[in-house]
Amino acid sequence: ETGVTQTPRHLVMGMTNKKSLKCEQHLGHNAMYWYKQSAKKPLELMFVYNFKEQTENNSVPSRFSPECPNSSHLFLHLHTLQPEDSALYLCASSQDSLALTGDHNEQFFGPGTRLTVL
């Protein structure tokens, strides 16, 4: 399955480091999403981009900074993270985040980046 790819797959960083997560979708979709998956907690939606415009910032701390240069690429820039930010970060895409019904709602997920903050 290569519809949505994420790099790196694993990342270990210190609290003072700056790093970026990359997501690329090859499905021709117009919406992209960042989720955080922590142990024993539901997947948390972080950001939504639709046609390169950010449509949702789900109260995410400013140490996470998303960037969407085009509909196929999505980045998550990380700086001065905390140990509690260690988690699996998932990227997803869908046809359109604003469609009311139908298959436009279906989101396709990447494999995730396992982030460990020391």
Partner 1 sequence: AQSVSQHNHHVILSEAASLELGCNYSYGGTVNLFWYVQYPGQHLQLLLKYFSGDPLVKGIKGFEAEFIKSKFSFNLRKPSVQWSDTAEYFCAVNVNTGFQKLVFGTGTRLLVSP
Which residue ranges make up the site for partner 1 (CB under 8 A)?
1, 4, 31, 33, 40-43, 45, 48, 50, 55-56, 90, 92, 94, 96-112
Give the shortest CB-97-to-partner 1 separation in angstroms: 5
Nearer Cβ to partner 1, position 62 or 101? 101
Q: In the β-sheet with 64-70, what is the strand arrangement from edge to edge?
A: 4-7, 18-25, 73-79, 64-70
Nearer Cβ to partner 1, position 56 or 80? 56
Q: 113: which residues sit within 8 A by CB, 6+ positions away?
A: 6, 7, 8, 9, 10, 11, 21, 88, 89
Nearer Cβ to partner 1, position 5 or 80? 5
Give the shortest CB-21-to-partner 1 separation in angstroms: 15
User: Which pair of structure tokens corresponds to residue 77?
Assistant: 């820039």
Nearer Cβ to partner 1, position 17 or 60? 60
Residues 53 and 89: their CA atoms lie apart, in Å, by 20
Give the shortest CB-2-to-partner 1 separation in angstroms: 11
Work out the end-to-end distance of the chain between its first and last CA atoms, rounded to an integer number of angstroms: 31
Give the shortest CB-22-to-partner 1 separation in angstroms: 15
DSSP 81: -
